[in-house]
Structure 1
Amino acid sequence: MRLFLLPVSTRRTLIYCERVQQQLAPGEKPPLSERIIAKATETWAGWERAEKGWQKQLTVQGNRLFKRIPYEEWGLKTIPSASKQRLEDADSGKLKFECLYPRAFMKEERVPGILKALATERQGLHRKRLWNSIVGMPITIPFAAIPVIPNIPFFYLCFRAYSHYRALYGGKLLEHLMSKNLVAITPSAELDEMYTAGLLHPHRSASREAPYPGPAETEQVSRVVEAQTNNGKEDVMLLQRWNGKLIAERFHLPEMEVEIERAVEQVESAIEKEKSELHDEKKEIMEAMAQKTDVKNPDIRR
């Protein structure tokens, strides 16, 4: 099973796990959870296709909420849950994990630490919010009395509870794998090429038309990025939104595209917010210093 460690910026990283379809015996049904998800996905897609009405408005508002869910949560949800059987299969070598990463844009010695941090740093948050969602479900029961429209608050809390559960136990599986050194960490020349192309070209079509960058170009771009970080003081974007589709296509993983685009959008917003806050902080300091100078030298402006 392949894991992808994708640095969105020089300080923020997305993890993505390739989804492997379970092989079913003839006549065997998928697990109940998968059937529920498939039905919910089908229903949601049908509501999205509606031209108007409450279904269309619901999907519009719902998709806005989905975009606000942290990309770290979405990434952990792609990792299979830490079930007893899956842990045993990993320990016995029956289930193998490989982690691909772009070595030109992420130092090899940092990879294990990043994987461990992604596995553990949000577990407390997901556990707390899982139980908050479960506790809130009974409160939504009165909404079931509304005719025609389903109990949306209840289903939303169900979705959030399941989402936090998947993120929590996806993190637990990754934590287990890292604690026993069961992940083969492998640098990917293909990821190096795709990252370099994304930083060299202004848009997707230009990247498609250009030949893949070579090692010399990759090294040059990597040095430029390192210089832009100002010795690690600045957070610099490494992925573009349009590049998510190209990476997903390169690895034949269409589901990866939306995960990358969501992560890039959130990280861009976070960096812009940090820059704005830093600018405001510097402005306040300068104003405070100016006021202090005026107090010490009351005749300076006379």
Structure 2
Amino acid sequence: MRARLVVFPIKQRNWCFIRSIDRQASKSSSSSSTTNTNTTTSLKDLWKKISSNDKPITQNAEVVVDFFANKMNRAWTGLENAPQGSVKNKIHSVGLFLLSRVKPSEIFLKSISKDITNVEVTYPTSLDPRLVRRRLRHIAMRGTVIHRKYFYGSVTLLPFTSALAVLPLPNVPFFWMLFRTYSHWRALKGSERLLRLVSNCPQDWKSVTTKKKNEEGATHSDIHLKDHKSPGRPWVSFTAL
């Protein structure tokens, strides 16, 4: 899948990184998500799905993460639709406040999904494409370090927050920590994906795209190289505006 990234400076060393929304990809992703939700709706179904295949541990971990992510999305939808003034509605307000404190860089890195095999980077004409590549590489490398650390920290805190379930109140700290674990995991995987896309590692990324091609039965012959200064990397192109 192809993704378009928009990059531009805001003030001094502060830059903005955005992934533009592809409506077609969003629809296909939504339909795929719906299919997965229908086929894996309980822990029993999840166990059958994991135990019945011989996939690597990392892929089974992705299945588990997606399962709990769907559970959290449905629970969040229930809180959002709760009547005004109810306890669920107040919990939803608290959740919105907490979500507003999530850093934009984390949201950007989470948008780099595992399905992305090439990117088109759009940037102002006043910028050097090599500088743009360095900044993308920097945010990706920084993300791998930060989100790996916070992911392990969130996993460590999960057992302690789950102990609060004995209280006669909704266990908001546990669900928040569960969401943060999921969020840091996705941001970590997005950082690793972006780093491979924009780094000078043609052999490494070639093995990834070949593996994906074999899994999906698709070819990437329609990918065109736009960045003539970067031979051997047809998965990244730069477009100046």
Q: TM-score normalized by structure 1?
A: 0.51
Query: Among 90, 104, 107, which residue is 1:71 paired with?
Result: 104
Query: Among 40, 56, 76, which residue is 1:44 paired with?
Result: 76
User: SS at the partner of 2:194?
Assistant: helix
Pair 1:186 & 2:238 matched: yes
AA matched with 2:124: R
Deviations 1:107-147 (A, max 9, x none): 32322111111210132211111111111111123311123
Pair 1:145 & 2:166 matched: yes
Aligned residues of 1:15 and 1:76 also touching (Cα < 8 A): no
Distance change (3 Å), C-alpha of 1:132 and 1:8? same
Paired positions, count: 174
> Within 5 Å, which residues of 2 pair with 1:36-185?
36-49=68-81, 50-81=83-114, 96-104=117-125, 106-147=127-168, 149-179=169-199, 180=201, 181-185=233-237
Q: Distance in 1 between matches of 2:148 and 2:87?
A: 32
Pair 1:16 & 2:48 matched: no
Q: Distance in 1 between matches of 2:68 and 2:181?
A: 14
* Percent identity between the two aligned chains: 24
User: SS at the partner of 2:90?
Assistant: helix
1:64 CA displacement: 1.0
Distance change (3 Å), C-alpha of 1:186 and 1:175? same
Aligned residues of 1:17 and 1:78 also touching (Cα < 8 A): no
1:32 CA displacement: 5.2
Distance change (3 Å), C-alpha of 1:38 and 1:8? farther
User: SS at the partner of 1:122?
Assistant: helix
Deviations 1:51-107 (A, max 9, x none): 1122111111111111111100110001124xxxx6xxxxxxxx6412231333543
AA matched with 1:43: A
Deviations 1:18-60 (A, max 9, x none): 5633576xx7747554454334223313312321122111111
Q: Distance in 1 between matches of 2:117 and 2:148?
A: 27
Q: Distance in 2 between matches of 1:39 and 1:186?
A: 38
**Structure 1 unaligned blocks of 5 or more:** 87-94, 190-302
Q: Distance in 2 between matches of 1:141 and 1:96?
A: 38
Which has the higher Rg, Structure 1 or Structure 2? 1
Compare the two structures and name the one with the higher strand fraction.
2
Aligned residues of 1:7 and 1:14 also touching (Cα < 8 A): yes
Q: Distance in 2 between matches of 1:173 and 1:105?
A: 27
Q: Distance in 1 between matches of 2:147 and 2:20?
A: 19
- The Cα RMSD (Å) is 2.7
Q: Distance in 1 between matches of 2:66 and 2:126?
A: 36
Q: Distance in 2 between matches of 1:35 and 1:18?
A: 24
